[in-house]
Amino acid sequence: MKLSPEEVQKIAHLARLELKEGEVEVFSSQLSSILTYIEKLNQLNTEGIEPTAHAMEVPTPFRKDEVKQEISKESSLINAPHREGDYFKVPKVIG
């Protein structure tokens, strides 16, 4: 699918990009190549293929929980901008 310079200008306008005249031709060619590739992908039979977030299975980098020394109330509140007793004081966010 070949994009015209006018279509590239319209896309640039929607994306709030200012393109120079030479860039319009370059992007027209590049975007046209991308759209041609997408058209090829649309021809693939993907029936029965489960959607995924990654092309390959990526393991989740979970770590084991480890018990560590607790922080005291006083040391956790020492740099609090506002506190009320043993609690952080924050602005109300729910009406």
Q: How far apart are CA 94 and CA 92, in angstroms?
A: 6
3 in Cβ contact with 35 (< 8 Å): yes
Q: Which residues contact 36 (CB under 8 A, 6 or more apart)?
A: 1
Phi and psi dihedrals of 39, rounded to 5? -60, -40
Q: 5-42, what's its fold? A: Histone, subunit A (1.10.20)
Q: What is the pLDDT of residue 82?
A: 92
Residues of the chain with confidence (pLDDT) below 70: none
Q: What is the pLDDT of residue 14?
A: 96
Q: Which helix (H) or strand (E) holds 29?
A: helix 21-42
What pLDDT digit, counting tens, does each position of 5-25 carry? 999 999 999 999 999 889 999
